[in-house]
Each structure stands twice: as C-alpha cells, then as structure tokens.
Amino acid sequence: MVDKNILRLALFEMMLQREVPPAVVIDEAIEISKVYGTESSPKFINGILDALAKREKLK
C-alpha cells in the first residue's frame, strides 16, 4: 500500500507538475520508500518510475 501511494505522488509530479525534473522526482520517491517502504521498495519504485520516464520521454 505504501509503495502504491509513493508511486501515485511521483506519477502526479512527473506527468502534471513539469517544474521538477523527472530524475529529482524519482530520487525523492526512492528516498521516501527507504523510510516508509519495505526492503525491496526502493528497487521497485525506481524500476517503475524509470521505465515510465523513458517510455514517456521525460528524461
């Protein structure tokens, strides 16, 4: 549940609030997942957000 909410926040920032560079959004999401997620959360969050940024050509 925590990972899902972290992804929601990051996706909102990446797709609708373009002021923040995608790399910064991804890094912030990873740092939040280290504190509130499980041991595997940072890898999971990074993989999904990185793939989305590449697919949407945000990077």
Model pLDDT for residues 8-45, shown as the tens digit of each residue: 999 999 999 889 999 999 999 999 999 999 999 999 99
Q: Which of 27, 29, 30 is nearest to 42 (CA)?
A: 30
15 neighbors 25 (Cβ within 8 angstroms): no
- Per domain, the residue ranges of the chain are 2-55
Task: Assign domain 2-55 to a CATH class.
Answer: mainly alpha
Q: What is the pLDDT of residue 42?
A: 98
| 11, 45 contact by CB (below 8 A) | no
Tell which phi-psi region holds residue 51, choosing left (phi > 0), alpha (psi between -120 and 50) or beta: alpha
Q: Which residue has the higher pLDDT, 59 or 39?
A: 39
Is residue 56 very low, low, confident or very high in pLDDT (cuts 50, 70, 90)?
confident
Q: Per-residue confidence at 57, pLDDT binned at 50, 70, 90?
A: confident
Q: What is the pLDDT of residue 29?
A: 98
> For residue 8, which of 47, 35, 48 has the smallest C-alpha distance?
48
